[in-house]
């Protein structure tokens, strides 16, 4: 139980061994390499920086290719899918796989780029076809819209502009004079009418307007004019909103043997579109057929991420052209493993104890039964190096409080079984493993308190017995939902609080003594013990015992008042400080009351289970009209849904509030946080589980 003792490691070896050494250390997984400091940092080979840059470029390339493939291939990863195994030896000679994967990645990127280009092309073709569609009525030769004297103008006019305005403009008359009293009332002509009144009448142009097509926004027109009138015609029509159109795409040319009409052009484009779409589909199919490539890419990606970490670690090494110098941290208990790892190398190494000023990393190492609870501590903060690891003591409290909050045999059984199966069947990281084992262990506690408080899916056995047979059967144990039951539960909750607070004070006492501050330990913490002891005696006992209790209480109070203000200056400061020290009693009381949440959560889970049972057994009660058979079918459905929801809700509540009790009420009294987690050089694999030749603990 404790924070692992760390040793400072100094190691000198030959530079030619660098790669081998990094590989060996990463498999050993017990050395955190630190920057070796000014004194030894004389030599930094350029090739290493280049290597790091190269590997990250390769990683990026593989990552991009994997992203593309993951987009088209069916997903084959997930919580419930086992990862593939990959032998350790492969990680040390990855070059061949990596080279192959890089080629494959290039191929994937090329096909994907081609696919993108084709998709862009199809989109452009679709737009062109759409633009061409209104002109298909025009049967003229699309690329020869003129004769010697005349020219055909294609163009569009806003749909709101009536055609007669167009013809009027061409004839050089204003529409009002043409239409006489029948003045058009649409806003388009009103807006224009002001100018027209002042404009002098122009000479009529010889022009023919042929409307081709009309949609909601535009009218598509063909206007036949004399060549010399063309510019004049356009200058008269542009104010009306006429825009010349060139329906054929810029780079379009008619294939041979095809009539040069707009509809033929449209058909040609449609054929091109079909080809492009087919090609894009072929690219997609090509990508979809690369499931095997993805496997190789993933292997290479895992090799590279391990290589990258090794290079990064090697970057912290010092030395000269031919020698290598390494500084780092190694847990004392891993020294044996380190020795074995380093045996094949020509190297000199030594360890020493950390100096007080060193930034020592923190690794918690506890007995196996307590390791799941380390995650609870880590979620708060690691303890500072040299302080106290509360994991084992906290585990005991966490375990029992969790059970009290969710006291039910069946819930506990489900929890433990589910977690056990998950641990066996899923590939989980260290954090997830710890958390799941935590729930699994706490499931046992739920079962224990379930037996005490007769929780078997709430009161299900009794409820079924009374609904189906009308009997008064009840499982043995204390019924929580009675006056007696609730008081026992409150007593247990507060008792847990008293125990834990006293334990926290004890740890504080121990830590102060270890630091040599015995005086502070006795007067700051010990005096509270005396006060509590005296208080308890005087309340619980009678007669002589009570008198002794009161005496002890007074002694404790006196200790507190006389010493709590000892750091203050002046007699006045010391007295007020002493009295203020007593004020902490409020803190103890509020912390104690906080433990009532155990009762609140326990009650909540029991009551909801009770409600679910009432609803479910309503189905089989004789007074209910569903019928016996259907009732017995509905019963498990309601039970399942209700209890799953209850379990999920209360698991969250227990996890949060049990943790909170530890963090605030327990840790708050003694915990020194701010430990830096130990980060040894380790192999890293995202897609695979590494099959180790020799398991490290």
The residues of the shown chain that bind another protein, judged by CB under 8 A, are 378-381, 481, 483, 486, 593-594, 596-597, 599-600, 603-604, 607-608, 610-611, 614, 649, 652-653, 655-657, 659-660, 663-664
**70 or 285: CB nearest another protein:** 70
Tokens representing 264 are 């033929």
Smallest distance from the beta carbon of 461 to another protein, in angstroms?
18
Q: Could you tell me how far CA 137 lies from the centroid of its own chain?
A: 58
**Phi, psi (degrees; rounded to nearest 5) at 286:** -60, -45
Smallest distance from the beta carbon of 469 to another protein, in angstroms?
18
**133 or 603: CB nearest another protein:** 603
Answer yes or no: are the C-beta atoms of 52 and 307 closer than 8 Å. no
Smallest distance from the beta carbon of 482 to another protein, in angstroms?
8
Q: How far apart are CA 572 and CA 352, in angstroms?
A: 50
Q: How far apart are CA 56 and CA 277, in angstroms?
A: 36
**32 or 658: CB nearest another protein:** 658
Instruction: Output the CA torsion 452→454→456→457 (10° steps).
Output: -110
**300 or 376: CB nearest another protein:** 376
Burial of 167 (0-12, 13-18, 19+ CB in 10 A): middle
**206 or 664: CB nearest another protein:** 664
Smallest distance from the beta carbon of 490 to another protein, in angstroms?
8
Tokens representing 61 are 């390339």
Smallest distance from the beta carbon of 32 to another protein, in angstroms?
18
**54 or 673: CB nearest another protein:** 673
Smallest distance from the beta carbon of 603 to another protein, in angstroms?
6
First to last CA, the chain: 16
Smallest distance from the beta carbon of 602 to another protein, in angstroms?
10
Smallest distance from the beta carbon of 380 to another protein, in angstroms?
5
Q: How far apart are CA 622 and CA 470, in angstroms?
A: 9
Smallest distance from the beta carbon of 441 to another protein, in angstroms?
19
Answer yes or no: are the C-beta atoms of 460 and 635 closer than 8 Å. no
Reduce the secondary structure of 95-123 to three states and give it as a string.
HHHHHHHHHHHHHHHHHHHHHHHHHHHHH
Q: How far apart are CA 465 and CA 472, in angstroms?
A: 7
Which candidate, 306, 289, 301, places its Cα nearest to that of 67?
301
**154 or 382: CB nearest another protein:** 382
Answer yes or no: are the C-beta atoms of 345 and 31 closer than 8 Å. no
How many other CB atoms sit within 10 Å of the CB of residue 401? 29
Tokens representing 247 are 């329906």
């Amino acid at each position: 139980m404790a924070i692992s003792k760390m040793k400072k490691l100094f190691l000198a070896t030959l530079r030619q061994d660098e790669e081998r050494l990094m590989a060996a250390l990463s498999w050993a997984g017990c050395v955190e390499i630190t920057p070796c400091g000014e004194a030894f940092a004389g030599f930094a080979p350029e090739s290493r920086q280049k290597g790091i840059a190269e590997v990250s470029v390769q990683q990026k390339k593989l990552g991009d290719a994997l992203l593309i493939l993951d987009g088209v291939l069916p997903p084959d990863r997930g919580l419930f899918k086992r990862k593939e195994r990959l032998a350790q030896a492969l990680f040390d000679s990855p070059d061949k796989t990596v080279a192959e994967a890089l080629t494959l990645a290039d191929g994937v990127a090329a096909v994907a780029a081609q696919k993108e280009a084709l998709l862009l092309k199809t989109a452009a073709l679709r737009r062109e076809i759409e633009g061409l569609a209104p002109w298909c009525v025009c049967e003229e030769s699309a690329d020869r819209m003129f004769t010697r004297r005349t020219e055909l103008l294609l163009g569009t006019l806003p749909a709101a502009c009536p055609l007669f305005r167009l013809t009027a403009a061409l004839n050089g008359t204003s529409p009002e004079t043409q239409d006489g009293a029948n003045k058009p009332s649409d806003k388009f002509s009103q807006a224009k009418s002001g100018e027209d009144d002042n404009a002098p009448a122009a000479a009529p142009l010889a022009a023919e307007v042929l409307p081709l097509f009309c949609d909601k926004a535009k009218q598509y027109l063909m206007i036949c004019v004399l060549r010399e009138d063309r510019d004049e015609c356009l200058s008269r029509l542009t104010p009306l909103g006429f825009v010349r159109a060139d329906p054929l795409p810029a780079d379009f040319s008619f294939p041979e043997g095809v009539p040069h009409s707009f509809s033929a052009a449209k058909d040609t484009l449609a054929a091109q579109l079909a080809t492009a779409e087919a090609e894009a589909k072929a690219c997609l199919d090509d990508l979809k057929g690369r499931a095997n490539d993805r496997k190789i890419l993933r292997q290479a990606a895992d090799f590279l991420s391990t290589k990258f970490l090794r290079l990064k670690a090697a970057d912290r090494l010092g030395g000269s052209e031919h020698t290598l110098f390494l500084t780092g941290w190694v847990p004392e208990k891993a020294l044996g493993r380190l020795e074995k790892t380093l045996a094949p190398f020509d190297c000199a190494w030594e360890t020493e104890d950390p100096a007080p000023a060193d930034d020592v990393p923190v690794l918690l190492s506890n007995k196996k039964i307590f390791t799941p609870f380390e995650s609870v501590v880590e979620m708060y903060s690691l303890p500072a190096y040299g302080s106290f690891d509360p994991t084992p003591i906290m585990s005991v409290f966490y375990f029992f409080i969790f059970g009290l909050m969710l006291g039910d045999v069946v819930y506990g059984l489900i929890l433990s079984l589910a977690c056990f199966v998950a641990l066996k069947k899923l590939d989980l990281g260290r954090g997830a493993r710890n958390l799941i084992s935590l729930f699994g262990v706490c499931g046992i506690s739920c079962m224990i308190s379930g037996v005490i408080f007769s929780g078997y899916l709430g009161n299900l056995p009794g409820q079924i017995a009374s609904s189906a047979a009308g009997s008064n059967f009840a499982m043995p144990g204390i019924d929580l939902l009675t006056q007696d039951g609730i008081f026992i539960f409150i007593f247990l909750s507060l008792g847990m609080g008293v125990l834990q607070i006293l334990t926290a004070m004890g740890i504080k006492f121990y830590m102060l003594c270890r630091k040599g501050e015995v005086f502070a330990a006795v007067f700051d913490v010990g005096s509270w013990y005396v006060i509590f002891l005296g208080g308890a005696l005087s309340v619980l006992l009678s007669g002589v015992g009570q008198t002794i209790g009161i005496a002890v209480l007074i002694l404790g109070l006196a200790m507190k008042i006389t010493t709590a203000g000892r750091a203050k200056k002046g007699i006045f400061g010391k007295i007020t400080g002493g009295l203020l020290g007593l004020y902490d009693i409020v803190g103890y009381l509020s912390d104690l009351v906080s433990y009532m949440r155990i009762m609140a959560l326990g009650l909540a889970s029991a009551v909801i289970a009770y409600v679910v049972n009432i609803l479910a057994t309503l189905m089989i009660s004789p007074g209910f009209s569903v019928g016996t058979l259907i009732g017995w079918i509905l019963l498990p459905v309601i039970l399942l849904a209700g209890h799953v929801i209850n379990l999920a809700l209360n698991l969250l509540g227990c996890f949060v509030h049990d943790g909170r009790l530890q963090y605030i009420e327990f840790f708050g009294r003694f915990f020194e946080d701010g430990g830096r987690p130990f980060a040894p050089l380790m192999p890293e694999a995202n897609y695979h589980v590494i099959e180790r030749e020799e398991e490290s603990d």
